[in-house]
């Protein structure tokens, strides 16, 4: 029984063939549909869980499962190692994702999720900004200009007509190199003092590797009354990016309430100060119209439904384009009652001595 593996070459071929913009548009479209269709009766998403450690390096390795009950399941394994870029020239986030047939346990497919994690985190911010930010937002501020910032800008640029993008990063070289990394998006970027960025932006995305206990990453002293913040960096207990007073002055929508309370910006506020989850807002747009005119925060900790949508998009495209490696991965043979039956004929070696 075949499993399909999408390796980096396959995903590269998909991106080249579809184009970055069309790929992002398709993901935003599919994610919009998936959020519209979501119901807790059909879909179970337990909180992600994993290993968190501080030695020998700070890191975490987590699993993010989702199941359409009895139908299919997707499990993403994601590593977060903020020292990766400097120590290993590797991205902070490295990830793979697997799809399973939930009626048999068969592994349907496995793919890189390093790229799709960046892509879907951008798309989720696009969905949130579309429903919560001012529709004619012209100025985007990026606090943290690493990998995630590229897809934040890309995704938002597919929804909004920005005039300019203000940049800030505590690492000057990363702030400087952003222009080139985001050149394909075609919007002017300018390194900006942090307080000016906060003051002038209609929308801000925070995507930093701020250390635990070292946040927030900006002060909200002066800002536009409709400022919308996509806070995407918080993913670890104690890691926060958004100042508490701004959270308290804003409508705060988490992607996943329990997870946001544990590792998102919602760590900082009382439970009764937390607004509806993004999916509820998207399913009931009329109820939440007023959000566009007030300060809002999307507390994005990462939601497995987003990962499932991104994986299925890639698997569909790979199928259309004839990409991917098909492998008989599981040792399944004619006789389900014989674990050795997949071996076939007797092995060629002679019988060994018994273990002591």
85-114 binders of a copy of itself (CB under 8 A): 85, 88-96, 98, 100, 102-107, 110-112, 114
Exactly one of 35, 38, 115, 288 binds a copy of itself (CB under 8 A); which one?
115
CA pair distance 341, 332, nearest whole angstrom: 8
Task: Give the 3-state secondary structure of residue 216.
Answer: coil
Exactly one of 4, 30, 76, 81 binds a copy of itself (CB under 8 A); which one?
81
Site for a copy of itself in 215-254 (CB under 8 A): none
Q: What is the largest CA-CA distance in the chain?
A: 80
Exactly one of 136, 188, 271, 347 binds a copy of itself (CB under 8 A); which one?
347
Q: Per CB under 8 A, does 57 bind a copy of itself? A: yes
Residues 6+ apart with CB under 8 A from 209: 82, 92, 144, 146, 233
Helices 304-321 and 20-37, packing angle to 10 deg? 130
On whether the CB atoms of residues 78 and 92 are closer than 8 A, the answer is no
Binding mask 316-345 for a copy of itself (x = CB under 8 A): ---------x-xxxxxx-xxxxxxxxxxxx
Task: Give the 3-state secondary structure of residue 313.
Answer: helix
Binding mask 13-32 for a copy of itself (x = CB under 8 A): --xxxxxxxx-xx--xx---
Residues 6+ apart with CB under 8 A from 65: 45, 46, 48, 73, 74, 75, 76, 304
The burial class, CB within 10 Å (0-12 / 13-18 / 19+), for 127 is buried
CA pair distance 87, 102, nearest whole angstrom: 39
The nearest distance, CB 317 to a copy of itself, in angstroms, is 13
Exactly one of 11, 198, 220, 304 binds a copy of itself (CB under 8 A); which one?
11
Exactly one of 135, 163, 184, 320 binds a copy of itself (CB under 8 A); which one?
184
How many residues belong to the site for a copy of itself (CB under 8 A)? Answer: 110
Q: Per CB under 8 A, does 74 bind a copy of itself? A: no
Exactly one of 38, 80, 246, 303 binds a copy of itself (CB under 8 A); which one?
80
The nearest distance, CB 127 to a copy of itself, in angstroms, is 11
Exactly one of 34, 164, 177, 292 binds a copy of itself (CB under 8 A); which one?
177
CA pair distance 280, 124, nearest whole angstrom: 14
Choose between 96 and 294: whose C-beta lies nearer to a copy of itself: 96
The nearest distance, CB 295 to a copy of itself, in angstroms, is 25
Site for a copy of itself in 29-48 (CB under 8 A): 29, 44, 46
Exactly one of 67, 274, 291, 305 binds a copy of itself (CB under 8 A); which one?
67
- Using alpha carbons, list the distances in angstroms from residue 25 to 122, 136, 142, 154, 345: 11, 19, 21, 10, 52
Choose between 297 and 306: whose C-beta lies nearer to a copy of itself: 306
- Using alpha carbons, list the distances in angstroms from residue 4 to 43, 106, 109, 271: 24, 11, 5, 42
Site for a copy of itself in 249-308 (CB under 8 A): none
Q: Per CB under 8 A, does 50 bind a copy of itself? A: yes
Part in contact with a copy of itself (CB under 8 A); list of ranges 145-153, 189-197, 260-268, 272-280: 145-153
Helix (H) or strand (E) holding 254: strand 251-254
Q: Per CB under 8 A, does 129 bind a copy of itself? A: no
The burial class, CB within 10 Å (0-12 / 13-18 / 19+), for 32 is middle
On whether the CB atoms of residues 154 and 182 are closer than 8 A, the answer is yes
CA pair distance 168, 141, nearest whole angstrom: 8
Q: Per CB under 8 A, does 172 bind a copy of itself? A: no
């Amino acid at each position: 029984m075949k499993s399909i593996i999408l390796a980096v070459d396959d995903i590269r071929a998909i991106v080249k063939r579809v184009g970055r913009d069309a790929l992002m548009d398709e993901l935003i479209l599919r994610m919009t549909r998936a959020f519209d269709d979501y119901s807790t009766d059909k879909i179970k998403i337990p909180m992600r869980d994993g290993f968190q450690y501080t030695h020998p390096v700070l890191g975490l390795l987590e699993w993010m499962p989702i199941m359409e009950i009895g139908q299919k399941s997707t499990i993403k394994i994601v590593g977060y190692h903020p020292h990766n870029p400097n120590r290993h020239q590797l991205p902070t986030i490295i990830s793979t994702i697997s799809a399973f047939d939930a009626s048999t346990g068969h592994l349907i497919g496995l793919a890189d999720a390093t790229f799709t994690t960046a892509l879907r985190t951008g798309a989720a911010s696009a969905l949130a900004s579309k429903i919560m930010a001012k529709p004619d937002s012209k100025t985007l501020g990026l606090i943290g200009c690493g990998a995630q910032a590229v897809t934040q800008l890309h995704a938002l640029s597919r929804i909004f007509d920005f005039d300019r993008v203000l940049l800030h990063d505590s690492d000057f070289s990363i702030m400087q190199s952003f222009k080139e990394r985001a050149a394909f998006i075609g919007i002017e970027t300018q390194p900006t003092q942090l307080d000016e960025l906060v003051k002038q932006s209609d929308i801000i995305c925070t995507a930093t590797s701020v250390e635990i206990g070292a946040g927030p990453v900006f002060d909200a002293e002066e800002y536009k009354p409709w400022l919308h913040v996509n806070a995407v960096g918080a993913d670890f207990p104690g890691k926060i990016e958004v100042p508490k007073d701004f959270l308290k002055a804003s409508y705060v929508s988490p992607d996943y309430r329990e997870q946001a309370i544990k590792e998102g910006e919602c760590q900082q506020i009382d439970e009764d100060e937390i607004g509806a989850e993004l999916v509820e807002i998207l399913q009931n747009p009329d109820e939440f119209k007023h959000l566009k005119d007030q300060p809002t925060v999307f507390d994005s900790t990462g939601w497995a439904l987003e990962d499932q949508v991104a994986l299925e998009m890639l698997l569909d495209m790979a199928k259309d384009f004839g990409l991917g490696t098909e492998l008989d991965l599981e040792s399944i043979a004619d006789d389900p009652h014989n674990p050795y039956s997949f071996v076939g004929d007797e092995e060629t070696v002679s019988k060994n001595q018994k273990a002591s």
